[in-house]
Homo-oligomer: A and B are copies of this chain.
Amino acid sequence: MPKEKELVFGHRNPDTDAVSAAVAYSYLQNQLGFNTEAVALGEPNEETKFVYDHFDVKYPRIISAINGEVKKVMLVDHNERQQSVSDIDTVEVTHVVDHHRIANFETELPLYYRAEPLGCVSTIVWKMYNENDVEVPAKIAAIMASSIISDTLLLKSPTTTDEDRDALKSLAKTADIDYETYGLEMLKAGTNLDSKTTQELIDMDAKSFDMNGNSVRVAQVNTVDVNDTLKRESDFVKDIKAENADKGYNLFVLLITNILTSDTTGVIIGDDNAVAKFETALDTKVSDNKASLPGVVSRKKQVVPPLTAQFN
């Protein structure tokens, strides 16, 4: 009897890892006897588009809700329900592969859950290929390598571990790419911000968090020139204020990260109390809506944990 079909997907506003880890994990699970399809919870961003065009890989089907299509799903690169399909509560989560904190996640039944605090989910999936003696096809190796480059900013983010380094080297070899040259080209493709409206930029790689009853939104854009990006500062501020009013966010943090110098400028807008908590948590001053965050490149490791601690 064929197994019941399950969908595999990463978080909303997908980045290269959210989509590619889903594709890679779905392939692996199918080799192991499951019946899965990888899907994406949104259009590819500029970087991901570059990656999938470059290696001629088909971008997965896009969905935003399950709508009764399947009864069971597998999550990669997220677990918090507000980052998932809108109707996640209507399905059973049978597997999770992730590298984030666990929050806002609860199941009725035992499940497979594999989290490791590594730089990239594709690194964990690579380990699972090895553990199960499954070969990584060249095209899947290419998008997994791209994911590691993306999540670790070419192994420079403080989230990078030795296992990410090993995985990138191994996958680059399988995919036959020079990851340093290709990686810089890929990261730069992702910083092509001019074609986007500020509204699109604050939504592109944004995640919502519930912090002790406060609704906190943290968005991030990568750039090679922060001043150039901030030429549109007044538009960013206007759009973020509208977004806070519309969605009821208590705090909106936009991280504008220079991938060459590994520094970030934050645009911070929210309730006075929440902004004050941000200042304490990140040990910085918010002046004219902006804060300097030298050495900060990782939302997951350097922004969300201190902010969460401050709200608790």
Assembly of this chain: how many copies?
2
> What separation, in Å, do the CA atoms of A305 and B116 have in the docked complex?
27
A273: interface (CB < 8 Å): no
**Residues 104-122 of chain A: 1 if any B CB is under 8 Å from the residue's CB, otherwise 0?**
1111111111111100000
* Residue A12 lies at the interface, judged by CB distance under 8 Å to chain B: no
Stretch at the interface among A2-10, A94-102, A135-143, A263-271: A94-102
Q: Pick from B103, B109, B304: contact of A106, CB below 8 A.
A: B103
Question: At the interface, yes or no: A308 with Cβ under 8 Å from chain B?
Answer: yes
8 Å CB contact of A109 from B108, B131, B305:
B305
Query: Which residues does chain B contribute within 8 Å of A108, judged by CB atoms?
Result: 101, 304-305, 308-309, 312
B308 touching A110, Cβ below 8 Å: no
Decide if B114 touches A110 in the complex (CB within 8 Å).
no
Partner of A300, one of B99, B110, B304: B110
| Residues B115 and A112 in contact, CB atoms below 8 Å apart | yes
A115 close to B106 (CB less than 8 A)? no
How extensive is the interface on chain A, given as a class? 20 to 34
B110 pairs with A113, CB closer than 8 A: no
* Contact yes or no, B113 A113, CB < 8 A: yes
Question: Hey, which chain B residues are within 8 Å of A309, CB to CB?
Answer: 108
A212 smallest CB distance to B (angstroms): 11
Determine how close the nearest CB of chain B comes to the CB of A94; give it in whole angstroms.
8
Determine the distance from Cα of A108 to Cα of B312 in the docked complex, in whole angstroms.
10
| A100, A103, A113 interface centre (most CB from chain B within 10 Å) | A113
Asked whether B107 lies within 8 Å of A117 as measured between CB atoms, the reply is no
Find chain B residues with CB under 8 A from A300 CB. 110
Please, which residues of chain B bring their CB within 8 A of the CB of A112?
115-117
**26 cross-chain CB contacts under 8 A:** A99-B110, A101-B106, A101-B108, A101-B109, A101-B110, A102-B102, A102-B105, A102-B106, A102-B107, A102-B113, A103-B107, A105-B105, A108-B304, A108-B305, A108-B308, A108-B312, A109-B117, A109-B305, A110-B115, A110-B301, A111-B115, A111-B117, A112-B115, A112-B117, A113-B115, A114-B115
Which 8 residue pairs of A and B lie closest in terms of their CB atoms, listed nearest first? A110-B117, A113-B115, A103-B106, A101-B107, A108-B308, A108-B305, A109-B305, A102-B107
A interface residues with partner B (beta carbon < 8 Å): 99-117, 131, 300-301, 304-305, 308-309, 312
